[in-house]
Structure 1
Amino acid sequence: MAETLHYDVAIIGAGPAGLAAAEDVKAAGKSVVLIEKYLWGGTCPNYGCDPKKILLAAVEAKEHVDFLRGDGVDGKVDINWEDLMGRKMRFTEAIPDKTVHLLDANGIGHIYGAAHFINEDTVIVHGDEDVEVQATDWILTVGQRPAELEIPGAEYTINSEQFLSLAEMPEDIVIIGGGYIAVEFASIAAAAGAQVHLVVRGSELLSEFDEAFVDTLFDQLDDRGIRIYFNTEVTEVAKTDDGYSATLSFGSTIPAGVVVRAVGRVGNNDTLQLENAGVEDDIHGINVDEFLRTSNPHIYAAGDVANTSKPRITTVGYYEARYAASVILGHDQPIEYPAVPVVVYGTPKLAAVGVPTQYAEENGYSVRDIDMTNWFTYYRTGEPAARAKVVLDADKKLVGATVFCAHADELINYFTEAINNKDGYQAIRDRLYAYPTPASDLEYFF
């Protein structure tokens, strides 16, 4: 019979969200355990945003040189994929051990294995030895995994984790999808020298972003030689003597060294046998209320697996997990979210926060569309395109922004702070920023 361990709080999923909640609960004097079945540290540092940005660093360096060639820079820069992947691996391979050492240093229990509920407060963990864990309260931060394709030859495709560990960049690569991951991987692969074929089921990329900005991004991807097929599906993937082939819905076949599926993500809630704990879920994740409580009042869900209206990104995950921990510790107010910035790490980057420009234009907000290409910040680096739209309310307070430029991931943070602070022109103008920088440009957006 499996041993039963007892804790005040147990957390399933040791990514950024689970780790944040565990630290807060432990700091409050509760006994806590983290349960993880794959890589300690979770998706983001092991096979998500962090390794992606390591690869992107080489792309950015190459583009900086390309932009300034003929304006003070000579020569050609190529990405050495093998060396770049080695750099990425040195970072990611250390993450699981570092995570466990952090847990040990903070006195947080940890169990490795796959967990599922056997009743309303107990799971069984299948690891080297089966163990039962009973807890007064639970936080589920199990995240998501790449969605599968249901087509002949789907087994020949690779997912996002496998792309981020490619030993070699092939000459031709097919990427299926039109969202964040597909665009980001297309940008990286093209810069690394691959001929990229991006196959998009719908009529546009990144449907949640301002259409004008997406059109500009399309032009930049096209300039980089990326071939994009809209309203098209891959109907079959086959193994060939030279690699693989992807058959498109209009009949053409594309040879490729790698076929990447980037068709979305699905929650890992289906692995937990939630029905045994009285927890309701659906295809969107685990259903939660305004306190992130599930239908079982002692079980909470946070991060990518929680069925909320917020973006499924790392920052939201650990914000929600810390909030769930606070409710367990006695906080009694519903969750309130600050402005949530999102970024597509393409080339260039596309970022947005607050009131969407499409909604603003239809609902009486003031929207300023600003071409920044000739601003000093972007002229000095030779960027071919830099653009922003800012949304102002009736009091001329900043409530939304969309940015397209190489600095978009940094600039969007300044806009996020302004939205959270309810800043208008006067507040921005009266601050002193280092000059000349993207921050010192802020007053010119009003």
Structure 2
Amino acid sequence: MAAPLEVDVLVIGTGEGGTTAAQKCAKAGRRVAIVDFRPYGGTCALRGCDPKKVLIGAAETVAHSRQLVGHGIAAPATIDWPALMRFKHSFTDKVPAGREASLQKAGVATYHGTAQFIDAHTVQIGDQQLRAQQFILATGAQPRPLHIPGEEFLLDSTAFLDLPELPADMTFIGGGYIAFEFAHLVARCGVKARIVHRGARPLEQFDADVVEHLVTASREAGIEILLNTAVLGIERLPDGRLQLRAESAGQPLTLTTAQAVHAAGREPALQALALEKAGVAYGPKGIAVNEYLQSTSRPEVYAIGDAADSGLPLTPVAAKAAFVAASNLLKGNHTPVDYGVVPTTVFAHPPLAAVGLTEAEATAQGKQFKVKHEVTTEWFTARRLREPVSAYKVLIEEETDLVLGAHLLGPHAEEVINIFAVAMHTQLPARELQKLLFAYPTSASDIVYML
């Protein structure tokens, strides 16, 4: 075998984080290589955020038209799934070649295949070996194994987003972002959707009261939600349908479905790297890193995004981590990572958005705060669209008058939450935020009534 090719920095993973880090290192004059066993572009651009949002856009149109039938709309819109998938592909198909070309233009050497460490500084990629002085690991995440019989019959999110057609009914195993977003999507396509969650309540990282409003909206949209229900096994029936063996509140339960989707969480995609051969320590949440995103066990290695045990598993978080990690790698550890205020959204219908502390978290931290919580279905913003469920909860610290957390469910919540994030980042007191003049009538103009 030929001698390994030498580079200064090897980046593993071509998502937003890996690409950003590789380009920054190349711009600084380092010899940089990047590798991915999948098409270049990462989860968000190819198999997650972007294609999902394209599909959900059509579902939102259907939902709004249904809500306004008899109120100016004569008949609801319907989704042409094959045509919608072609539209989605117009966004995703061009990404891999474009991403690779942009990396090459930046001076980054590109490789395809599974990278596996064979020692502390060398990786094997097919028949090629690369030797690097430093590494940035940005491998993303993958579905977490359920360790139940028959889980091979489940679709993962990637397969779901490439379905050529939809069945009459689908079951989503899990109670997080993926389950709710996909269930709301297919429900607007005429599919009978079911969510099966082993916990007492879904979307556990969000405020419980606001989540309960979303559960109500979901059920009103025709989505069946089974809580405290664990799927124990899956088998294929002679007619092609799936049978799910489950347990609900201690009692056996059997469910059948045309297709079932794994929506029960993801884990860092690290197993294929053979990190033990490089002496890189990692756990269920990712590679153990310090405040500079440097491996605590191997100083030559940095990890970002879902590959690291630092920060929320969100694309903007990975992009910010990429800048920090690359800067620390290039200049020596000088900038500790600070993710600051991170808003997030569940793109159901209506969308659920949050930033900051939940009421339970603020209470556990001993904060003294006041709570503004109201159902807003009769507010103009929701009523003009005949939104069946709309609500908010805002936490304001009593001593400082600062917003501790905001939780929104309703039209354009995914946009309005960013204004709360800006206020929290700049430590703008609630009374000052309330004084701002917003364009009217807009969803943002409702903020003054939430404070």
What TM-score bracket applies, with the shorter chain setting the length? over 0.9
Equivalent position SS for 2:270: helix
1:232 offset after TM fit, Å? 1.5
Distance 2:401 2:47 in 1: 41
The one of 366, 372, 379 aligned to 1:375: 379
TM-score normalised by L of structure 2:
0.94
CA deviation vs aligned residue, 1:250-293 (integer Å, no higher than 9, x gap): 44433322111111112112211112222111222111111111
Equivalent position SS for 1:329: helix
1:77 offset after TM fit, Å? 1.6
Equivalent position SS for 2:110: strand
Equivalence for 2:327: 326
CA deviation vs aligned residue, 1:368-424 (integer Å, no higher than 9, x gap): 113332332222222122211112222212231111113111111111111111112
Equivalence for 2:298: 296
1:123 offset after TM fit, Å? 1.3
Distance 1:313 1:357 in 2: 22
Distance 2:375 2:260 in 1: 36
Q: How many residues align?
A: 442
Equivalence for 1:413: 418
Q: Which runs of 5+ in 1 are unaligned?
A: none
1:234 offset after TM fit, Å? 2.3
The answer to whether 1:440 aligns with 2:445 is yes
The answer to whether 1:15 aligns with 2:15 is yes
1:52 offset after TM fit, Å? 0.8
Equivalence for 1:248: 246
The answer to whether 1:212 aligns with 2:203 is no
1:138 offset after TM fit, Å? 0.9
Distance 1:361 1:374 in 2: 30
Do the aligned partners of 2:172 and 2:260 also contact (CA within 8 Å) in 1? yes
- Residue identity opposite 1:271 in structure 2: A
1:152 offset after TM fit, Å? 2.5
The answer to whether 1:170 aligns with 2:167 is yes
The alignment yields a C-alpha RMSD, in angstroms, of: 1.7
Equivalence for 1:109: 109
- Residue identity opposite 2:292 in structure 1: F
Distance 2:79 2:7 in 1: 50
Distance 2:357 2:150 in 1: 42
For residues 195-206 of structure 1, the aligned pairs below 5 Å read 195-206=192-203
Distance 2:356 2:151 in 1: 38
Do the aligned partners of 1:190 and 1:225 also contact (CA within 8 Å) in 2? yes
- Residue identity opposite 2:147 in structure 1: E
Distance 1:263 1:46 in 2: 20
The one of 212, 233, 237 aligned to 1:236: 233
- Residue identity opposite 1:183 in structure 2: F
1:39 offset after TM fit, Å? 1.8
Equivalent position SS for 2:241: strand
Distance 1:145 1:383 in 2: 35
Distance 1:134 1:178 in 2: 42
The answer to whether 1:262 aligns with 2:263 is yes
1:96 offset after TM fit, Å? 0.8
1:429 offset after TM fit, Å? 4.5
CA deviation vs aligned residue, 1:209-242 (integer Å, no higher than 9, x gap): 1111111111111111111222212233222343
Do the aligned partners of 2:173 and 2:196 also contact (CA within 8 Å) in 1? yes
Distance 2:266 2:52 in 1: 17
The one of 395, 401, 415 aligned to 2:400: 395
Equivalence for 1:181: 178
Moved more, 229-238 or 167-176: 229-238
Equivalent position SS for 1:198: strand
- Residue identity opposite 1:270 in structure 2: Q
Pair 3,368 (structure 1): closer, same or farther in 2 beyond 3 Å? same
Distance 1:199 1:269 in 2: 28
1:105 offset after TM fit, Å? 2.4
For residues 33-72 of structure 1, the aligned pairs below 5 Å read 33-72=33-72
The one of 354, 357, 360 aligned to 1:355: 357
Pair 193,444 (structure 1): closer, same or farther in 2 beyond 3 Å? same
Do the aligned partners of 1:41 and 1:99 also contact (CA within 8 Å) in 2? yes
Equivalent position SS for 2:155: coil
For residues 2-151 of structure 1, the aligned pairs below 5 Å read 2-126=2-126, 130-151=127-148
- Residue identity opposite 2:299 in structure 1: P
Do the aligned partners of 2:207 and 2:358 also contact (CA within 8 Å) in 1? yes
1:69 offset after TM fit, Å? 1.7
Equivalence for 1:315: 316
Distance 1:225 1:371 in 2: 21
Equivalence for 1:366: 370
Distance 1:361 1:68 in 2: 40
- Residue identity opposite 1:338 in structure 2: G
Distance 1:432 1:201 in 2: 45
Distance 1:253 1:162 in 2: 25
Moved more, 365-374 or 313-322: 365-374
Equivalence for 2:390: 386
1:333 offset after TM fit, Å? 3.0
Q: Which runs of 5+ in 2 are unaligned?
A: none
Give aligned-pair identity as a percent. Answer: 37
- Residue identity opposite 1:300 in structure 2: Y
Distance 1:395 1:361 in 2: 16
Distance 2:232 2:208 in 1: 28
Equivalent position SS for 1:369: strand
1:361 offset after TM fit, Å? 4.2
User: Stretches of 4+ moved more than 6 A in 1?
Assistant: none
Do the aligned partners of 2:12 and 2:139 also contact (CA within 8 Å) in 1? yes
Equivalent position SS for 2:4: strand
Do the aligned partners of 2:396 and 2:402 also contact (CA within 8 Å) in 1? yes
1:178 offset after TM fit, Å? 1.0
